[in-house]
Chain A
Amino acid sequence: NAGVTQTPKFQVLKTGQSMTLQCAQDMNHEYMSWYRQDPGMGLRLIHYSVGAGITDQGEVPNGYNVSRSTTEDFPLRLLSAAPSQTSVYFCASSRERTGGGYTFGSGTRLTVV
């Protein structure tokens, strides 16, 4: 099925560990983003990409890295996990320059202990 696929769905990390959250889309969308969702704070933009090879920082980029080597994949790397990074992470993609009609992945629930 076409859409945005995120893996893993759940992850528990120890403080200081690193990991990569995977995101892949098969809709040939140019625009991809990573958001984190915390209670009472809506979704906050971490990093985004407007095409292969082009990425930029969002509202809360510290502690995260991204790369976009292909149109399909947009992995998010946690360099040294901290408890403050406990959150639900969503990857999203869109064909629209306006950001409209975003398709979201099903999310990764990350707990850092």
Chain B
Amino acid sequence: EDKVVQSPLSLVVHEGDTVTLNCSYEVTNFRSLLWYKQEKKAPTFLFMLTSSGIEKKSGRLSSILDKKELFSILNITATQTGDSAVYLCAGSGNAGGTSYGKLTFGQGTILTVHP
């Protein structure tokens, strides 16, 4: 059974701090690792990582994948109150013969950024 575990489950920081969110995975026929941000409603896509050691960046957010150790991290620098959200990590694998990227999500990390 595929499994994705995130840590910490919750984190409280002050504006300007840098945070690192962790995601470890065990996914059959692994294809990619995805990060989503969820504020109140639907998750919104942040990054998809398929290659080990290649950092993806978008503004203050960056993420990297280690396929040997089966984990990924999401870094947020100079945090702002608008970064407060649940951050979800998901592993995509090949669900048997359907060649479909079935997503297995972690529990999420609740990030709270205080002014």
Contacts and interface: CB of A to CB of B under 8 A. Distances in A.
B105 A98 contact: no
Interface stretch (B11-19, B42-50, B65-73, B77-85): B42-50
Contacts of A94: 101
A50 B41 contact: no
Contact of B45 (A44, A98, A102): A102
Contacts of A101: 45, 48
Contacts of A59: 104
Interface of B: 4, 6, 9, 31-32, 34, 36, 41-45, 48, 50, 88, 90, 92, 95, 98-108
25 contacts: A33-B103, A35-B105, A40-B9, A40-B107, A42-B107, A42-B108, A43-B88, A43-B90, A43-B105, A56-B95, A59-B104, A94-B101, A96-B48, A97-B100, A97-B101, A98-B31, A98-B32, A98-B48, A98-B101, A99-B92, A99-B100, A99-B102, A99-B103, A100-B45, A104-B43
